[in-house]
Structure 1
Amino acid sequence: MALFTELNIYKTAHELSVLCNRYVATMDRNYRGTIGADMRRDCREIIQRIQIANGRFGNERIAHIEELRWAVGQVEVAARICADRRIRALTPRQQADVILLTQSIGKQSTGWKQQTEKALANPVAKAAGSMRN
């Protein structure tokens, strides 16, 4: 098992967190404390779920990956709301930056979940894989 800070999904999530914090800091005060705070909280949640899932195995890991994917969806929805033409808390470019990172995290988490499910279905491969680590 690798340190969670060395995982590509963590690096992408960290980049998303830094980006969201930078964008929230430039938001109008009306949105910074509401939807901006939600975005920051969900970014922290994503990183925490990666850390927890990395330390778990089997169905417990899958549950944390599902929670991670839910938090990713929350950040994506918040970015879409912020970029709405009536709100304009984010520019279309900023929204695109956030969406690209959330999609990347989503793809990586799907692969991680599938890999875990595959290991659960084939316990012999799981045992062989644990010997290598």
Structure 2
Amino acid sequence: MALHTDTEIYKATYDLSKLVTEYVSNMRRNYKADFGAELRRRCMSLVMRTYEANTTSDRTPVLLRMRQEVEAVNLSLRLAVDLRLISPKQYSHAIALTTSIGKQATGWQKSSERALVAGLPRQPGQRAMKSGRAAGP
């Protein structure tokens, strides 16, 4: 069984959570408690969705929720830069991560849907195919 912590999407979601936590610690006090805390929670939710998708047999609904949460994080980050809570440079770093997460989640979702259509049930935590052969047990 593949560990969810070995995946690129996990690494990207974790890096985003870490980055956003640093950004929130530097926000003005009146935004830190509510806006910043919610942004951190959303980012941590992305990390947990990675775990959930990797351990369930029907990944599609989990990955769909994950993609929706990525959009919510993108909107929050845009609002943060518009309110001057984070700098444009900080915004660009965070958006690069959310773009990567969104693309990986979309690819993972499409791959899972193709596997379901083809009738190839996978065990929870089983790795996806690489180069035409199984990448893990």
Cα deviation, residue 64, structure 1: 0.7
Match of 2:67 in 1: 69
TM-score (norm 2): 0.86
Work out whether residues 49 and 63 of structure 2, in 8 Å CA contact, stay in contact via their aligned partners in 1. Answer: yes
Match of 1:101 in 2: 97
Find runs of 4+ consecutive structure 1 residues off by over 4 angstroms.
124-127
Q: Where does 1:33-44 land on structure 2 (aligned, <5 Å)?
A: 33-44=33-44
Unaligned runs of 5+ residues in structure 1 are none
Change (3 A) 1:96 1:51: same
> What secondary structure sits across from 2:75 in the alignment?
helix
Matched, 1:80 2:78: yes
Unaligned runs of 5+ residues in structure 2 are 124-128
Aligned length: 127
**Higher RCO (C-alpha 8 Å, min separation 6):** 2
Work out whether residues 57 and 122 of structure 2, in 8 Å CA contact, stay in contact via their aligned partners in 1. Answer: no
State the Cα RMSD in Å: 1.8
Work out whether residues 4 and 54 of structure 2, in 8 Å CA contact, stay in contact via their aligned partners in 1. Answer: yes
Matched, 1:31 2:27: no
